[in-house]
Amino acid sequence: MPVTQFDQNQKTIYQRDQYAKGGISRRHWDRRDRIALDLVRPSDRTIVDIGCEEGVTLEKIHRRFPERSVMGIDTLPEKIDICKKTRV
C-alpha cells in the first residue's frame, strides 16, 4: 500500500522495514509506545491498538502484558494481512 490510499503513485512504505532500520524513527516509535503503554492501568483487561498498521506495537503490548486481551484494528487490508502473518 502507498503511504495514503488515495495516491496510488506513491511508493509503499512498510512499518516493519522502517522500524528495522533503527535510527531516529525507531527511537521515536519506541518512546511513543513506552509513553502509551505506561498509561495502561492494572484494571485494563483489554487493550486495543487502533491503526495498528503491521502490528509492531501490538507485539510490544503482548510482550509487556501477556495476560491481557490484545486487539489491533486497521483499515488497510494489506497491513492487516501483514499483522496476521506476524502474530505472536
For residue 44, what is the domain's CATH number?
3.40.50.150
- Residues in the chain with pLDDT values less than 70: 1-8, 87-88
Report if residue 69 sits inside a domain.
Answer: yes
| Counted domains in the chain | 1
pLDDT of residue 32: 93
Q: Domain range spanning residue 62?
A: 15-85
Answer yes or no: is 9 within a domain: no
Are 46 and 14 contacting, i.e. CB atoms less than 8 angstroms apart? no
pLDDT at 5: 58
